[in-house]
A and B are shown apart, each in its own frame.
Chain A
């Protein structure tokens, strides 16, 4: 009698519908995009964004916000491009230390009860500074294996789509299915009751931040694989993109309500929105404004479903 649509399904439905609508619009404007090559070109730059969005989502899941993701991904990209081709061990070591620094940041935030926004804002300067030190002017080089991985010709389905699917599923398993994921979201929902149940909220938060750092590192590496080189400012915009991606994907800033698949879909949607505008060929004066308009329209779609949320 009653059709059971849970809040979680709605959360996922909205981004999927937005993506589908945009995709139809893009195909209509540019039928050439409807091909193996076309889909790859449309979506391959969404792969690092999707990874960064997952990283942001992990932090949002524990009710924090990470303003340093953009500079951290840039930093990871610089390390990858500078050290990975010649001295991979050193590169891996630096990245591992960076992930540990992320975990440490989570620890400080929890122990001192600091606002994550301020700490990550401060860290964004630190990562930016380190990136400039490592790579004062653009350059470096993608390691061959990374380049060939990111430009792989997968059968039938383009690599960009395969990669997005894999990212979504892995993140879903970690965040929605594993015990650690339950604990992470539990801390976002009600940290007090998680600690009353005998868990160490500190350890959970540290794990969330470490995972976030790990996904950010992957984002940086994927980015270098696509662009073939790095610079210190390469991913600054990922901070806002990743936040927008999480929200677009149905996540909420507080309360541990997140959706990994939604986040990946959100990242794809954001990327596609940019292409959609290119294909519309608006006057250069208004191209920037049109990006805003598209964001508004895509998020406005949520209104259609909002009667249920209210």
Chain B
């Protein structure tokens, strides 16, 4: 019997009142791809931090490859061959890719390390993501979010002084489009069949089912199921997580929309002859491969309709960020303040914020979007990634905005909450709100009334009603050059 690459025994972690982990056992052996799933705040990122040494469990132990347990912390984990792609992007954006590699791999020393590193990265990057167009000598700050994620993944698979034994991937595909995600998963399968091991966290169950050899399900800080992949189906997995699968709620074409007033009308660009039009009560999807101008359009739309100088009219437009750290959360603030900031005017009398009103709104949305926290006055950073995203959602939906812009807002949101949010969106749209929704997930695109497909910064196709399908979207995404 081989010793496991890493063994976590009886690990418990608490953050103040929150018990993030309670007595978790987890062993990962060589040649294994462990899929880790669970609702937002189940404790997935916490166990990742325990394994990579960033967090010492308050009870229990971690050991690496049967090594003597003298060493602890990050250096022990790294010596044990553990590498980790974190949920939030964690490269230094002011450094070049090569310099980031130097920081990540202590083995890259000596004369000419830059050259060696560059060669290693270029090879690895095209191995994981064949056909990518990332400039490996660039500064990370100049890369798009997807490219950064690609680089970070490649850097962790890098073989500098010995190949990695365990690579942890915490929601690695959340900023990758489906094509890139598939390339990455293929590489994971190859890596595992070559004897490496992987811990993969994702809310997209298809990825877990197609890639893992074993699935561990977590709920409220504990492991509730751990079985080989063959014993799970999509449905049973969701049930194991504690959510109920609902039928797809596509209601068909809503013809009433054709007569309702237009709220957004972007004229056609001469290049493709297509513009964007949104009517009252419509849910508009923005599709296409990641990084082709969808975010830019949403940012421009918001800037256009809100003043940088005068107080904003919250009944006009609201924005849900996809990149929390960059343009979403206010890290010094409580959850409540993060939620209420979008609509302070309504909570105030004579420019003075009314605490009771604020608490009421907080309580209402905590319940509506199931934000997992004992107290809305706790700091926002005490929430798990997915729960932070829910707060951003609630911030926008709690305003009376006629138009809601959503920049891939479901990144890292668990399946149960997603379905709740979908039905909220539906209901709000029926009540007359317009949603412009950029998503990297095809399921979400298929929920929209009308879809615009982007390519190279412009709209290349408009699909409505029954034309909205995975096949048509993909066809439009790749057909741009021919047209």
Q: Chain A interface (Cβ within 8 Å of chain B)?
A: 6-8, 179, 182-183, 185-186, 188-190, 192-199, 255-257
Contact = CB atoms under 8 A, between A and B. Distances in A.
A179 B93 contact: no
Given A6-B142, A199-B103, A190 B52 contact: no
A8 B137 CA distance: 12
B84 A196 contact: yes
A106 to B, nearest CB: 19
Contact of B92 (A6, A7, A8, A190): A190
Interface string B74-117: 11001000001010001111110001101110100100000000
A189 B52 contact: no
B465 interface: no
Given A7-B139, A179-B109, A255 B74 contact: no
Interface string B109-150: 100000000000000000000000000001101100000000
B54 interface: yes
Contacts of B141: 7
B142 A7 contact: yes
From B91, B103, B141, residue with most partner A Cβ within 10 Å: B103
Nearest to A181: B99
Interface in B421-450: none
Contacts of A182: 95, 99, 102-103
A196 B78 CA distance: 10
B103 A197 contact: yes
B168 to A, nearest CB: 12
Contacts of B91: 190, 193
B106 A6 contact: no
A194 B93 CA distance: 12
A257 to B, nearest CB: 5
Nearest to A189: B92
3 closest residue pairs by CB, A with B: A189-B92, A193-B90, A189-B94
A278 to B, nearest CB: 38
Contacts of B109: 179
B99 A186 contact: yes
B21 to A, nearest CB: 19
Contact of A193 (B92, B102, B138, B142): B92
A194 B142 contact: no
A189 B102 CA distance: 14
Nearest to B110: A179
A189 B93 contact: yes
A15 to B, nearest CB: 18
Contacts of A8: 139
Nearest to A254: B94
A7 B95 CA distance: 11
7 contacts: A179-B102, A182-B99, A182-B102, A194-B103, A197-B104, A255-B93, A256-B95
Given A195-B74, A196-B52, A197-B103, A255 B94 contact: yes
B90 A192 contact: yes
From A185, A193, A257, residue with most partner B Cβ within 10 Å: A193
Contacts of A197: 74, 78, 103-104
Nearest to B152: A193
Nearest to B98: A182
A7 B142 CA distance: 8
A60 to B, nearest CB: 12
Contacts of A186: 92, 95, 99-100, 103
B54 A190 contact: no
A270 B355 CA distance: 51
Given A182-B99, A193-B91, 19 more contacts: A7-B142, A182-B102, A185-B94, A186-B99, A186-B100, A189-B95, A190-B92, A192-B90, A196-B74, A196-B84, A197-B103, A198-B74, A198-B75, A198-B78, A198-B106, A255-B93, A256-B92, A256-B94, A257-B94
A92 B142 CA distance: 45
A74 B106 CA distance: 40
A7 B93 CA distance: 12
Contact of A194 (B52, B84, B92, B106): B92
Contacts of B106: 198
A256 B99 CA distance: 13
B195 to A, nearest CB: 24
A74 to B, nearest CB: 32
Nearest to A188: B94
B102 A6 contact: no
Nearest to B114: A177
Contacts of B138: 6
Contact of A196 (B86, B95, B102, B139): B86
Contacts of B94: 185, 188-189, 255-257
Nearest to A190: B92
A185 B93 CA distance: 10
A8 B78 CA distance: 32
A256 B94 CA distance: 6
